[in-house]
Structure 1
Amino acid sequence: MGIIAFLILGLICGAIAKFLLPGNDPGGLIVTLVIGVAGALLGGFLAGVLFNTSPIDEFWDLSSWLTAIIGSVLVLLVWRAVAGRTRR
């Protein structure tokens, strides 16, 4: 997958993660992109470790999207836990 496609995948999956977990999140487009890209990397790593596969190969592959969305949700949960502690 090319870098531009990976960034688009990250942006869309970060937005989906924010949609699935509504709340008052800091940041805008850039933070959503970072959450999505980090989630795609984390999801791909976890899928490789747990299932011995490489899901981040093709842009239109369903496993790429699912692992990126699941990873983005995990990253968003960690983001909220860390950001929530600093706001108090």
Structure 2
Amino acid sequence: MGIIWTILIGLVVGVVARFLKPGNDPMGWIMTAVLGIAGSFFAQFVGAQMGFYQEGQAAGFIASVIGAIVLLIIWGLVTKKK
């Protein structure tokens, strides 16, 4: 049940991040869930490096959304057409 819960929370985080970041981000719901999960891992890693979280401690919802927005911005810069 843990992995299903993680995917559902990742989907919610991804949807919130895509809603908050302006611009067009064409991706399906699977990539949105992956974005949310990756944003959570990114926020946990950065937070642990900065001393906000202990090793193995999950990042909060707001930090996960911020991490997903950062990944969306990076993804937009990498895939930008010239």
TM bucket normalised to smaller: 0.7 to 0.9
Post-superposition shift, 1:68?
Answer: 0.8
Q: What percentage of aligned pairs have identical amino acids?
A: 35
In the alignment, the residues of structure 2 paired with residue 6 and residue 64 of structure 1 have an alpha-carbon distance, to the nearest angstrom, of 13
Deviations 1:28-78 (A, max 9, x none): 11121111111010001111111252441xxxxxx5202211110111111
Look up the equivalent residue of 1:51 and give its one-letter code: G
Q: Structure 2 unaligned runs (5+)?
A: none
TM-score (ref. length: structure 2):
0.84
TM-score (ref. length: structure 1):
0.79
Q: Structure 1 unaligned runs (5+)?
A: 57-62
Match of 2:28? Answer: 28
Match of 1:4? Answer: 4
In the alignment, the residues of structure 2 paired with residue 17 and residue 10 of structure 1 have an alpha-carbon distance, to the nearest angstrom, of 10
| Structure 1: 4+ residue segments shifted above 6 A | none
Match of 2:71? Answer: 75
Count of paired positions? 80
In the alignment, the residues of structure 1 paired with residue 73 and residue 53 of structure 2 have an alpha-carbon distance, to the nearest angstrom, of 25
SS in 2 for 1:22: coil
More helix by share: 1
In the alignment, the residues of structure 2 paired with residue 21 and residue 41 of structure 1 have an alpha-carbon distance, to the nearest angstrom, of 19
In the alignment, the residues of structure 2 paired with residue 67 and residue 2 of structure 1 have an alpha-carbon distance, to the nearest angstrom, of 20
